[in-house]
Chains A and B, each alone.
Chain A
Amino acid sequence: QVQLQESGSGLVRPLQTLSLTCAVSGVPISSAGYSWSWIRQPPGKGLEWIGYIYQSGRTFYNPSLNSRVTISADRSKSQFSLTLSSVTAADTAVYYCARERDYSSGSYYDYWGQGTLVTVSS
Chain B
Amino acid sequence: SYDLSQPPSVSVSPGQTAVITCSGDQLGKKYVSWYQHKPGQSPVLLMYQDSKRPSGIPERFSGSNSGNTATLTLSGTQPMDEADYYCQAWDSNTARVFGSGTKVTVL
Contacts and interface: CB of A to CB of B under 8 A. Distances in A.
Interface of A: 37, 39, 46-49, 52, 60, 62-64, 96, 100, 103, 105-110, 112-115
Interface in B72-107: 84, 86, 88-90, 94-101
A23 to B, nearest CB: 15
B31 to A, nearest CB: 3
Contacts of A100: 96
Interface string B29-42: 01101010100001
Contacts of A114: 42
B101 A46 contact: yes
13 contacts: A46-B99, A46-B100, A47-B35, A47-B98, A49-B95, A52-B96, A106-B30, A106-B48, A107-B33, A108-B48, A108-B49, A109-B33, A109-B35
A45 B53 CA distance: 26
Contacts of A107: 31, 33, 90, 96
Nearest to A114: B42
Contacts, number: 65
B12 interface: no
A100 B95 CA distance: 12
Nearest to B50: A106
Interface residues on B, range: 20 to 34
A113 B42 contact: yes
Contacts of A103: 49
A108 B42 contact: no
A119 B99 CA distance: 24
A96 to B, nearest CB: 6
A113 B42 CA distance: 7
Contact of B31 (A105, A112, A115): A105
